[in-house]
C-alpha cells in the first residue's frame, strides 16, 4: 500500500504536488503539514518517496532542509527541476485593483516581491502557496489574494488575475527525491551523475581549502557548496557538497580519500543521474 505513495509538504496544488505529478504520475501524492512530516513518513515506511524542495533560482536555498537532512537517514535517489509559474489569484469575479493583501509561502513572496510592491499589496506569509489559495477560497474576500499555481486555482475555484507573476523569468525550483533505501545507479561513462554529501571540516588552518583540494587535483567538478551552522553552536560549520561524479570513478575515489584527511562525519547522501535541466541550461559546464 505504502509502496505507491510519494509524500510532499503543503496542500493539494502546491508546487511540490506538481513536481510529484510530473515525475511520478502513477504514484499517489500525499500532502503533509511540514517537511519533517513528509520525511518521517518515508523513514517510518508510510511512504516510499518524498519530494522535497532544496533551492530556488530566485529566492535561494530552503534553509530548513539543510538543517533537517543530518537528522534523517534518508538517501537522495534523484533530482527534479520544476519551472515555477506563480499566479496571482483571487475569488471569482475579483479585479486586481480590489486586492489589498496577498498571502503565500515566504519563498513565493520573495520571488514576486517587485510585482507585489508595484500593486501596493501587503504581503502575508503562509505555510505554503496552495494553503494560501485554499484560505482565499474559504474567506471569499475580494480584498485578499494569493500567489500559487494554476493547479491550485483549478482545485479551489479561484480566478487567475495574473500569470507569470514572479519577478524573474526562468524561475525554477530544484527538488530532491528522498528514499529510505539507497539506490546507487550503475556507472555509465556516457551519462552525467551528481553525488551529494555532507561533512564537517577539521579545526585546522585552511581546512576547507585542503578538504576540497582533492576534488580540484583529480578533476572532479564541484557544482554546489553550501555551509550552515549545526548542533546549536557557532563553533563548527557543516557543508553540503554536490559534485559531478560517480563513486565508481577513480578520480572520485581519490578525491574522497583526500577529503577524509581533512574532514570528519563524511556522509554520502546519494548518487543519481544529473537532471536534463542541467545540460539544457548549462548548470554543468
Could you say which of 94, 129, 173, 238 is catalytic?
Answer: 173
Beta strand 101-104 with 144-148: parallel, antiparallel or unpaired?
parallel
Q: 14 vs 26, 149, 268, 281, CA distance in Å?
A: 18, 7, 29, 24
Cα–chain center distance at 29: 16
Q: Strands of 144-148's sheet, edge to edge?
A: 122-125, 101-104, 144-148, 87-90, 159-162
Closest listed residue to residue 104, CA positions, set 121, 82, 127: 127
Q: Which residues, in sequence order, are CB contacts of 207 under 8 Å at separation 6+?
A: 201, 262, 263
**Annotation says 173 is catalytic:** yes
CB atoms under 10 Å from CB of 115, counted, come to 18
CB atoms within 10 A of CB 125: 12
- Residue 256: CA count within 13 A, CB half-sphere: 19
User: Distance of CA 131 to CAs 18, 65, 179, Å?
Assistant: 14, 20, 26
Closest CA to 76 of 187, 200, 183, 222: 183
Q: Where are the alpha helices (DSSP H) in 112-206?
A: 113-118, 129-139, 150-156
Q: What is the sign, positive or negative, of the torsion defined by CA atoms of 151, 152, 156, 162?
A: negative
Identify whether 238 is a catalytic site residue: no
Annotated catalytic residue within 58, 129, 165, 175: 175
CB distance 29 to 18 below 8 Å: no
Residues designated catalytic:
173, 175
Amino acid at each position: 500500500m505504502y509502496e505507491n505513495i510519494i509524500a510532499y509538504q503543503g496542500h493539494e496544488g502546491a508546487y511540490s504536488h506538481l513536481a510529484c505529478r510530473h515525475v511520478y504520475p502513477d504514484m499517489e501524492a500525499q500532502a503533509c503539514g511540514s517537511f519533517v512530516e513528509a520525511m518521517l513518513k518515508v523513514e517510518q515506511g508510510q511512504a516510499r518517496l518524498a519530494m522535497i524542495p532544496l533551492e530556488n533560482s530566485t529566492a535561494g536555498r530552503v534553509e530548513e532542509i539543510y538543517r533537517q537532512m543530518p537528522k534523517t537517514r534518508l538517501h537522495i535517489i534523484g533530482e527534479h527541476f520544476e519551472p515555477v509559474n506563480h499566479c496571482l489569484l483571487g475569488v471569482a469575479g475579483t479585479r486586481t485593483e480590489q486586492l489589498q493583501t496577498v498571502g503565500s509561502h515566504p519563498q513565493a513572496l520573495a520571488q514576486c516581491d517587485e510585482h507585489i510592491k508595484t500593486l501596493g499589496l501587503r504581503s502575508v506569509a503562509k505555510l505554503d502557496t496552495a494553503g494560501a489559495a485554499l484560505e482565499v477560497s474559504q474567506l471569499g474576500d475580494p480584498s485578499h489574494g494569493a500567489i500559487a499555481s494554476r493547479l491550485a486555482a483549478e482545485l479551489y475555484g479561484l480566478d487567475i488575475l495574473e500569470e507569470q507573476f514572479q519577478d524573474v523569468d526562468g524561475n525554477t525550483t530544484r527538488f530532491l527525491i528522498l528514499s529510505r533505501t539507497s539506490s546507487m545507479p550503475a556507472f555509465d561513462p556516457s551519462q552525467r551523475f551528481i553525488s551529494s554529501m555532507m561533512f564537517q571540516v577539521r579545526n585546522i588552518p585552511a581546512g576547507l581549502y585542503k578538504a576540497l583540494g582533492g576534488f580540484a587535483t583529480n578533476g572532479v567538478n564541484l557544482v554546489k557548496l553550501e555551509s550552515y551552522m549545526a548542533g546549536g553552536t557557532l563553533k563548527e560549520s557543516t557543508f553540503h557538497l554536490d559534485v559531478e561524479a560517480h563513486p565508481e570513478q577513480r578520480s572520485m575515489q581519490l578525491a574522497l580519500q583526500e577529503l577524509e584527511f581533512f574532514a570528519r562525519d563524511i556522509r554520502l547522501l546519494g548518487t543519481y543521474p544529473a537532471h536534463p535541466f542541467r545540460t539544457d541550461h548549462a548548470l554543468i559546464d
